[in-house]
Amino acid sequence: MLNNNIKSMKLYNFIDRVYNELKELGKETKGELSVNELSSFDQLHYHGTEAIDFAIEKFKIEHNFKVLEIGSGLGGPARYLAKKTGARVTAVELQQDHNDAAVYLTKRCCLDSNVEHICGDFLNLEFPKNHFNIVVSWLALYHIPNRKKLLQKCINLLKPNGYFFGEDFACYKPFSENEKLELSKDFFANYLVSFHQYKTDLSEAGFSNILIEDMTKSWSIFTKERYKSYQDNIKRHTRVHNKVIVQNMLYFYEFAMRYLDGGKLGGIRVFAKK
């Protein structure tokens, strides 16, 4: 299932979408931006800022927290978390264009003193041990094939009694070879295992108090609503972007909707303690 080309996932194409939306706001190159102005397009996971609020409330994240986010995308979750709590967030993103856009947006939101963006492969980056209160990730961990190294690195970087929190994909049933290829290409899926195996991985890495919540039904509903909303506003999206970008997004939204409703792919929310 291993795929080395993250840009095969259509959600990660056309970074121009970001700058087109800024132009639509009348703030293409000038003017301070607010986190709320960006939330309709800088959250690349399900349920947008509601998902960030859940983590903030669940773990009581405050201004004195040091947060590490893996797979930070356009920086939406990091900015929202920092703005709402005052916490210091280290946001790690593999893709250079997404990281560059994230840095730009964070500066224009005047949050660069709270959010540090780092571009690179998380597994190859160095951070101080026992440094972070919590490691978080929203729909990015399934991109990383070496789960053992990923989780060992996370537990080493957490302070004693620190937390690991992730929203990710898992599976109910094995995929066919064609499905594996399709998921590898269109979801950049490099690690999809059962809910049980996901929990086992965390336990073997040394985590305790592991809780798993099945998000499949909720995410399936979300993807259907997202697809319909995008279609309902297709004239607006075509005007702001172009037909190629619109068709790209519709393809990706339909793909996510189909797989989350197909009975094999599942959504998972995970909590664990060092």
**Percent of all residues in the chain with a pLDDT value above 90, rounded to a whole number:** 96
For residue 83, pLDDT beyond 70: yes
For residue 134, pLDDT beyond 90: yes
Region 11-34: mean pLDDT is 94
CA distance 105 to 131: 26
Region 71-81: mean pLDDT is 98
202 in a domain, yes or no? yes
For residue 89, pLDDT beyond 60: yes
The rounded radius of gyration (Å) of the Cα atoms in the chain is 18
Domain tally for the chain? 1
Q: Specify the pLDDT at position 241.
A: 97
Region 226-237: mean pLDDT is 98
248 in a domain, yes or no? no
Which residues span the domain enclosing 57? 6-217+264-273
Phi, psi (rounded to 5 degrees) for 42 = -105, 5
205 in a domain, yes or no? yes
258 in a domain, yes or no? no
Q: Specify the pLDDT at position 131.
A: 97
123 in a domain, yes or no? yes
Q: Specify the pLDDT at position 2.
A: 58
CA distance 26 to 32: 11
Region 125-145: mean pLDDT is 97
Give the list of residues 6+ apart from residue 139 with CB closer than 8 angstroms, or none: 44, 45, 46, 71, 167, 168, 169
Q: What residue has token string 């989350």?
A: 260
Q: Specify the pLDDT at position 3.
A: 59
For residue 46, pLDDT beyond 70: yes
For residue 40, pLDDT beyond 70: yes
68 in a domain, yes or no? yes
Q: Specify the pLDDT at position 159.
A: 98
Long-range contacts of 170-173 (CB under 8 A, 24+ apart): 170/194, 170/195, 170/197, 170/198, 170/266, 170/267, 170/268, 171/264, 171/265, 171/266, 172/263, 172/264, 172/265, 172/266, 173/263, 173/264
Per the prediction, the chain carries an average pLDDT of 97
Query: Taking the chain, what is the end-to-end CA distance rounded to the nearest angstrom?
Result: 30
Pairing label, strands 208-214, 158-171: unpaired
pLDDT tier, 30 (very low <50, low <70, confident <90, very high otherwise):
confident
238 in a domain, yes or no? no
90 in a domain, yes or no? yes
Q: What residue has token string 């919540």?
A: 213
Supply the pTM of this predicted model.
0.96
For residue 259, pLDDT beyond 80: yes
Query: What three-state secondary structure class fits 43?
Result: coil
Q: Residue type at 210?
A: I
**Per-residue pLDDT reduced to its tens digit, 163-203:** 999 999 999 999 999 999 999 999 999 999 999 999 999 99
pLDDT tier, 58 (very low <50, low <70, confident <90, very high otherwise):
very high
Domain at 198, CATH number: 3.40.50.150
